[in-house]
Amino acid sequence: MTIRELEQKSGLERANIRFYEKEKLLNPVRRENGYRDYSEEDLQTLRRICLFRRLQFSLEEIRSLQEGKEELSEALAIQLQRLERREWETERAREVCRSMRRDRAEFEGLDAEKYLAQLEKPLRQTDVEVRSSDHPEGKSALRDMRRETDRLPRLRAPWRRYWARMLDWNLYSLLWTAFLVFVLKVNLFRTELLLTVLGNAAPLGLMLFLEPAFLRGFGTTPGKAILGFRLEHEDGRKLTYLEGLSRTWQVALWGMGLGIPIYSLYRYFKSYGTCMSGELLKWEGLGEAELTLKDTRGRRTVLYVMAALLILAADIGLCFVLPAPPNRGEITVEEFAENYNFYAEYYQNDFWNKKLNEEGEWADASTDIVYQFPASFRWPDFIFEEEDGVLTGVTVRVELEGGGELMDSFQMQEQIAALAFAGASRNAPLSVWTAVRLGNRLAVQENGSLSFKEAGTEFYLHTEMKNYSQWSSEYLMGSSEDAYYLREFSMRKQAAAGG
């Protein structure tokens, strides 16, 4: 039978059974997989141990009886004398306590010699009232005492276990964030409902996948290792992957409430109470693995804080990573257009349902959406420079004439074009700060020229305005019929040093 079945039949807890095994009073056989296989004889042995412990035999005396070193009749006679002597001493102590109360004795000035002499007097049989060993409450207390003393100490440390779990959880969250940034190339500043839901569910899925692997390979997890925990079988065997998966699932369900808001707080509270009471948690009763704590040295706390800060810094850093475009190195016009559309989608800028086609010209992104524009509206033109089919320069040009209409300044399109072109360079990785600096440069709306370098690319901005004024950061307003506006934003690969 399994240890769970033995618990049910014997009425003892696992910690008691393990204690008697450690004391070599109970010796179950082992199966090929290392698990204990308890027999009916083991059950009877366990019941005998419980009986003699209730009779207040010591573990050494029970061991002597098991090994045949002592006859039971002799052991019972000796134990009976011991119990009678103990009963006499207890009753004598009770009588002296009553006497001290009758005398209204005070600690200061207490005549200790008088009461010591009373302890040595023979006990009158008439003074013996109710013996604790015959009282139902006394029996219950004795049974509970044996159960509490005859057991391996159960590890509690709920807060230490919680912080170990949280470090692991933050690590899984970091891995999910890295997957979003580097694989799915998601803008973390987007607040879509799906991303919010996945942000809670995905780390849970990673925990169910990775934690069993950690336990199988190392017998611990990063958080547990830092705080000194190990989870292994008593003989040092590590959990199998399926054992770890079963345990981790129970932790997720009963310990963390599957991350469901409010319910998860309830499960944390319940688990804390169970742990502090010394009872088995749901996931601790599944197998024979035991959680142990090596030590609680202060350096573990320091290491934990450093690891937590490192994960936090990495998580914040990922928010400022700008994913590379799909095409890098020497690119063509078609690949530039693909890069442009990639960043337009990344920043959720549909530019009135427009995207670049394979020739680098504006085309409708969807036929289901139709916008109406004023007659004076002009789309910015893309002018490409090529050498042997390789794109070497791009100019975004917009020219407006006439007034009275609110016009887009196309700064966002210029910024996206700059990222699409500069991002193709393998030697100049982009970041959110690159986009911010480009945006600040392109916010200039005044006559004149400006040149600057960014991400291995040379940029040149030329603006001519007549009777046009900046309405906002993104729009222009022509104030008269002869209003004129020209803006050219050019970019070219930066010449190599010494070239």
Check whether residue 175 and residue 271 sit in a common domain: yes
Return the percentage of the chain with pLDDT > 70, whole number. Answer: 86
Report the pLDDT averaged over residues 269-297: 84
Q: How far apart are CA 366 and CA 126, in angstroms?
A: 104
Residue 78 binned pLDDT confidence (cut-offs 50, 70, 90): confident
Burial annotation 103-116 (CB, 10 A radius, 16+ → b, else e): eeeeeeeeeeeeee
* Distant-in-sequence contacts of 238-245, Cβ < 8 A, 24+ apart: 239/212, 239/215, 239/287, 239/289, 240/216, 241/212, 241/213, 241/216, 242/212, 243/212, 243/215, 243/286, 243/287, 243/289, 244/211, 244/212, 244/213, 244/214, 244/215, 244/216, 245/208, 245/212
Burial annotation 268-285 (CB, 10 A radius, 16+ → b, else e): beebbebbeeeeebbbbe
Parent domain of 35 = 3-149
Is 23 a domain residue? yes
Helical pair 112-120 and 72-102, crossing angle rounded to 10 deg? 140
Kindly state the tokens that stand for 415.
């910024």
Check whether residue 138 and residue 192 sit in a common domain: no
pLDDT surpasses 90 at 252: yes
Is 198 a domain residue? yes
Q: How far apart are CA 465 and CA 22, in angstroms?
A: 90
DSSP H/E element including 136: helix 136-149
- Give the number of other Cβ atoms within 10 Å of residue 137's Cβ: 8
Is 327 a domain residue? no
Strand pairing category for 381-387 and 29-30: unpaired
CB-based burial of residue 172 (10 Å sphere; 0-12 exposed, 13-18 middle, 19+ buried)? buried
Is 106 a domain residue? yes
The domain spanning residue 129 has which CATH number? 1.10.1660.10
Tell which of 319, 350, 379 closes a domain.
319
The model's pLDDT over 471-486, given as tens digits with 9 standing for 90+, comes to 665 666 667 777 888 8
The model's pLDDT over 330-364, given as tens digits with 9 standing for 90+, comes to 999 999 999 999 999 998 888 888 899 999 999 98
Q: How far apart are CA 487 and CA 480, in angstroms?
A: 19
Check whether residue 352 and residue 297 sit in a common domain: no
Q: How far apart are CA 75 and CA 171, in angstroms?
A: 59
Q: How far apart are CA 79 and CA 476, in angstroms?
A: 104
Contact 394, 385 (CB under 8 A): yes
DSSP characters for 203-214?
HHHHHHHHHHHH
Check whether residue 246 and residue 132 sit in a common domain: no
Check whether residue 79 and residue 214 sit in a common domain: no
Tell which of 262, 292, 319 closes a domain.
319
Highest-confidence range of 22-36, 181-195, 314-328, 390-404, by mean pLDDT? Answer: 314-328
Average pLDDT, the chain: 83
Is 325 a domain residue? no
Q: How far apart are CA 209 and CA 201, in angstroms?
A: 13
Is 326 a domain residue? no
Check whether residue 337 and residue 433 sit in a common domain: yes
Check whether residue 383 and residue 455 sit in a common domain: yes
DSSP characters for 162-178?
HHHHHHHHHHHHHHHHH
Residue type, 10: S
- Give the number of other Cβ atoms within 10 Å of residue 17's Cβ: 24
Question: pTM of whole model > 0.75?
Answer: no
Tell which of 294, 319, 344 closes a domain.
319
Residue type, 308: A
Which residue carries 């991350």 as its tokens?
259
Report the pLDDT averaged over residues 185-205: 80
Check whether residue 23 and residue 136 sit in a common domain: yes
pLDDT surpasses 70 at 375: no
Q: How far apart are CA 254 and CA 391, in angstroms?
A: 58
Q: Where are the alpha helices (DSSP H) in 14-66?
A: 14-22, 40-54, 59-66
- Sign of torsion, CA 320 323 328 331? negative
Q: What is the CA radius of gyration of the chain?
A: 40
pLDDT surpasses 80 at 153: no
Measured at the alpha carbon of residue 431, what is the angle toward residues 425 and 434, in degrees to the nearest 5? 85
Residues in CB range of 158: below 8 A, 6 or more apart: 271, 272, 275, 276
Is 311 a domain residue? yes
Is 173 a domain residue? yes
DSSP H/E element including 257: none
Check whether residue 30 and residue 126 sit in a common domain: yes
Check whether residue 206 and residue 268 sit in a common domain: yes
Q: How much is the pLDDT for 369?
A: 76
Check whether residue 31 and residue 138 sit in a common domain: yes
pLDDT surpasses 50 at 491: yes
Check whether residue 182 and residue 306 sit in a common domain: yes
The model's pLDDT over 111-143, given as tens digits with 9 standing for 90+, comes to 888 878 877 776 544 344 434 444 444 444 444
Domain count along the chain: 3
Report the pLDDT averaged over residues 258-273: 92
User: What SS3 state is found at 287?
Assistant: coil
